Amino acid sequence: MTTENTLPTRNGVRLRLFEQVVGELLPKVRPTYSKLPAIDEEVKQIITSSVQENEIFSKKMEEDTNIKWKEEEEPEWPFAAMPLDAGVRHTSNSTNTRTTGKLKGMRAVKKEWQLRSLIQCVLAMLPQSALGQPDEDNETNKIRIVDFAGGSGHLALPLSVLLPKCEIVLVDLKEASLDLAFVKAKKLANLNPAVDIDKEEMSDPEEESISRKERNKRRKKLRRKMKKTNDYPSVTTKDPEAVTIHENVLKQSEDLPNLFTYHGSIQNYAEEHGQFDIGLGLHACGEATDLVLRACGKAKANFVVSPCCVGKLSQQKRNPYIYHATAANEATISYPQSSMFCTIIPKGEKFDALAKAADYGEMENLRTPRNASRRTAKSLLEMDRLLYMKETYGYDDVVLCRFDPWEASAKNDVLVGWMKVRDNGVGSPYKDLDNQVQTCEECYRDVDMTMSQLLDNHSSEEKRENTCFDWSKEEENIIEKQLEEFLESPDFTFTFPTGMGKRKRRLIHHTAERMRIHHYSIGDKNSEKTVIVDKKEFV
């Protein structure tokens, strides 16, 4: 295995394995980002009017106007055009988030940003005939939209309200989540529902009586047991065996007739009810995203998917996320997937390093140079998925987008693909001159910075400007000041303290190289490693 002392270098900084892999891929596969498809104002008006035509929805929205929001939490379209009961936020601070499926504060706002980005893509794919209230002509050739791994209906429920002419199918392995979706539908579709998910009786008394510390203790014990037996059912359910029993039956909501649920795996739904028009997946863990994409490919359906947990794609991992995706304990997909990626980085250590680095979750650095290489690794993984979908299933086109705004989630990539126009009018989300595929220039910044750092075909000045993608300019200035003080001192050598961590050592090497100061590392264990600079002639 390559060690820190034998890795190739760029500008005096030793490259990690994933950076070597990124450097191999970028000259041949450059991630291309597009802006999310725009929604025509006429479409918004048709949908808003359709929701208001529903008497119950209209009355609920009147009641919702009495709620005062903080300025940054004010609902935006489409959530401003539907009852609060259709969305993800609740209004009671005492409400139990775990048992209601509702969210609070900015967490709810960010979830709405995520949902809006996917809804925006879906609406752009639909013909205008699919909008508005249903009529007799709508009973045949209905458009079917499937929300895979959709939990309790964060996405499916608002889609059911916005698109009453379309069938919305919610697929999940957890029966409790699907039951909760129907409970939320009942509350949404009735002025005085028999059940109120905001009340304490909806919570599980036994579960609520257990302290968080005790619950975590039980889960750790269960994980240890699963590791010994090599068996990975749900790590959160009180009955690990219960999750293995799936009804594999399509159920229709009594309260929202266009909402259906399916309790079973992604593969089972695809095999039993294969024909649908648009497939969705919001943060389906690990390879579940790829199962969603393949289900869409086999059905020749458009897709809008936002992946999650790409570190779990590593073939070294065998964990419950595979179980949640497949209802089986073995991985079902081999990575990388596309022929191009398989040629450049065959499966094994290189892909695992790329997947691990790409599992990025630091929100505060999204629009900064820091960790641009890791975000580029994530972009490359998504390109592998898109290339595979196009070459395997013959999609008319595929694009990589990001949530609007990016800050909706650190996992903010959105994969969009479409076939040629179907008989029912479902087609490209970029269907007219006013709504064409447009390049997202800001999204390229990470890739450009990474290329200038890792590849040789950029000028020294470009590298100096873009090289600090693992640290901030302020951090670099601090090291630079220390080195300047050393140069002005009578000392011939200067040893930095141990225990700084790999990132700090890399920063010192980079800064010393830029200042043309001789530098090297010493120490065997991580806790003993450090950097020494001296006044020898720089070569």
DSSP output for 370-393: TTHHHHHHHHHHHHHHHHHHHHHH
Tokens of 275: 């024909």
Q: How confident is the model at residue 372 (pLDDT cuts 50, 70, 90)?
A: confident
Q: Which of 306, 276, 270, 272 is nearest to 426 (CA)?
A: 276
Under 8 Å between Cβ of 261 and 251: yes
Pick from 62-66, 121-125, 519-523 the range whose average pLDDT is largest.
Answer: 121-125
Q: How confident is the model at residue 84 (pLDDT cuts 50, 70, 90)?
A: very high
Higher per-residue confidence, 390 vs 212: 390
Q: What is the pLDDT of residue 221?
A: 66
Angle between helix 17-25 and 372-393 (nearest 10): 50
pTM greater than the 0.85 cutoff:
no
Give the mean model confidence (pLDDT) for residues 330-345.
88
Average pLDDT, the chain: 82
Under 8 Å between Cβ of 448 and 335: no
Question: What 3 state SS string does 349-370 have?
Answer: HHHHHHHHHHCCCCHHHCCCCC
Q: What is the pLDDT of residue 86?
A: 94
Q: What is the pLDDT of residue 362?
A: 73
Give the mean model confidence (pLDDT) for residues 116-126.
97
Q: Which of 124, 122, 128, 172 is nearest to 144 (CA)?
A: 122
- What CA–CA distances, in Å, run from 296 to 36, 278, 302, 346, 383? 20, 7, 7, 25, 17
For residue 264, pLDDT beyond 80: yes
- What CA–CA distances, in Å, run from 69 to 80, 109, 509? 12, 11, 49
What is the CATH code of the structural domain delimited by 473-539?
3.30.1370.50
Q: What is the pLDDT of residue 261?
A: 97
Judge residue 135's burial from the number of C-beta atoms within 10 Å of its C-beta, 0-12 exposed, 13-18 middle, 19 or more buried.
exposed
For the stretch 503-512, pLDDT in tens is: 788 889 888 9
Pick from 133-142, 170-179, 494-503, 519-528 the range whose average pLDDT is largest.
Answer: 170-179
How far is residue 262's CA from residue 260's CA, in Å, rounded to a whole number? Answer: 7
Q: What is the pLDDT of residue 153?
A: 96
Pick from 151-160, 424-433, 452-461, 468-477 the range whose average pLDDT is largest.
Answer: 151-160
For residue 539, pLDDT beyond 50: yes
Place of tokens 């200042």: 515
Give the mean model confidence (pLDDT) for residues 103-115.
92
Q: What is the pLDDT of residue 211?
A: 58
Give the mean model confidence (pLDDT) for residues 508-529.
86
218: Cβ–Cβ under 8 A, 6 or more apart, which residues? 210
Compute φ and ψ for 532, nearest 5 degrees: -120, 135
Q: What is the pLDDT of residue 209?
A: 44
For residue 238, pLDDT beyond 60: no
Q: How confident is the model at residue 210 (pLDDT cuts 50, 70, 90)?
A: low
Q: What is the pLDDT of residue 337?
A: 94
430: Cβ–Cβ under 8 A, 6 or more apart, which residues? 37, 124, 436, 437
Give the mean model confidence (pLDDT) for residues 229-247.
47
For residue 239, pLDDT beyond 60: no
Q: How confident is the model at residue 1 (pLDDT cuts 50, 70, 90)?
A: very low
How far is residue 261's CA from residue 413's CA, in Å, rounded to a whole number? Answer: 26
Query: Residue 245, Cα to own-chain centre: how many angstroms?
Result: 28
Report the CATH fold assignment for 41-127+142-209+245-429: Rossmann fold (3.40.50)
For residue 126, pLDDT beyond 70: yes
Under 8 Å between Cβ of 323 and 350: no
Q: What is the pLDDT of residue 25?
A: 93
Give the mean model confidence (pLDDT) for residues 3-27.
71
For the stretch 390-445, pLDDT in tens is: 999 999 999 999 999 989 998 999 999 999 888 899 999 998 756 678 888 888 88
Compute φ and ψ for 290, nearest 5 degrees: -70, -30
Percent of the chain with pLDDT strictly greater than 70 = 77
For residue 290, pLDDT beyond 70: yes
Q: What is the pLDDT of residue 50?
A: 95
How far is residue 121's CA from residue 519's CA, in Å, rounded to a whole number? Answer: 51
How far is residue 195's CA from residue 208's CA, in Å, rounded to a whole number? Answer: 19
Q: What is the pLDDT of residue 331?
A: 66
Report, in angstroms and rounded to the nearest whole number, the Rg of the chain calculated over CA atoms: 26
42: Cβ–Cβ under 8 A, 6 or more apart, which residues? none
Percent of the chain with pLDDT strictly greater than 90 = 48
How far is residue 360's CA from residue 435's CA, in Å, rounded to a whole number? Answer: 31
Fold matches, 41-127+142-209+245-429 and 473-539? no
Q: How confident is the model at residue 199 (pLDDT cuts 50, 70, 90)?
A: very low
Q: What is the pLDDT of residue 205?
A: 37
* Segment among 21-35, 264-278, 350-364, 390-404 with least mean pLDDT: 350-364
Q: What is the pLDDT of residue 439?
A: 84
Give the mean model confidence (pLDDT) for residues 384-393.
97
Report domain extents, the chain.
41-127+142-209+245-429, 473-539
Using a CB cutoff of 8 Å and minimum separation of 24, what contacts does 454-457 make?
A: 454/10, 454/15, 454/19, 454/22, 454/23, 454/26, 454/373, 455/23, 455/26, 455/27
How far is residue 57's CA from residue 26's CA, in Å, rounded to a whole number? Answer: 50
Q: What is the pLDDT of residue 245?
A: 61
State the Cα angle at 366 between 361 and 367, rounded to 5°.
175
End-to-end alpha carbon distance in the chain? 28
498: Cβ–Cβ under 8 A, 6 or more apart, which residues? 523, 527, 528, 529, 530
